Structure formats: structure tokens, C-alpha cells
Amino acid sequence: MDIEEIVALSVKHNAGDLHLCSGHYPFWRCNGRLELIEAEGEGVVTGKLCLALAEHSTKSWRAAGRWIFP
């Protein structure tokens, strides 16, 4: 599952937000509750997140351990 598929699923499930964090599985918030998206391991999510972010954003994300999309 790639980033576009995760985002599309979050829209389909009417998720309020999507949480992607290195070292963790992705989560989304539905009906006020965080739910695990049992998609892929952390390494795959991390790699795909790096592809989705610009280089400067990737550096900021790696330094802070999180990224909030503007």
C-alpha cells in the first residue's frame, strides 16, 4: 500500500486525520478514535513517506521525528 492508497482509504473511511510516524504503523482518526491501519511495516511506511516529502521536509521530519503537512 502506498501513500496515495493510504490517503484514499482515509478519505473513504471519513478519517479526520492521518498519523504517519517513523517507527510506528500508520493510524487515522475516525469518529474521534485513533485506529491502527494494518498496512505495512514501519520501514515501508518510512520509505514511502520520504518519497512523498521534499528533501528539506524529509530532513526536518527526521530531525524532529514527526511532520505535520501544511
Please classify residue 66 by burial: count the beta carbons closer than 10 Å to its beta carbon, then call 0-12 exposed, 13-18 middle and 19+ buried: exposed
47-62 per-position pLDDT tens digit: 666 666 666 666 776 6
**How do residues 3-50 score in pLDDT, each as one tens digit?**
787 888 888 888 888 888 777 778 888 888 888 876 555 555 666 666
Q: Can you give the pLDDT at residue 41?
A: 52
pLDDT in tens, 17-26: 888 877 777 8
CA-to-CA distance for 49 and 29, rounded, in angstroms? 19
- How much is the mean pLDDT over the chain? 73
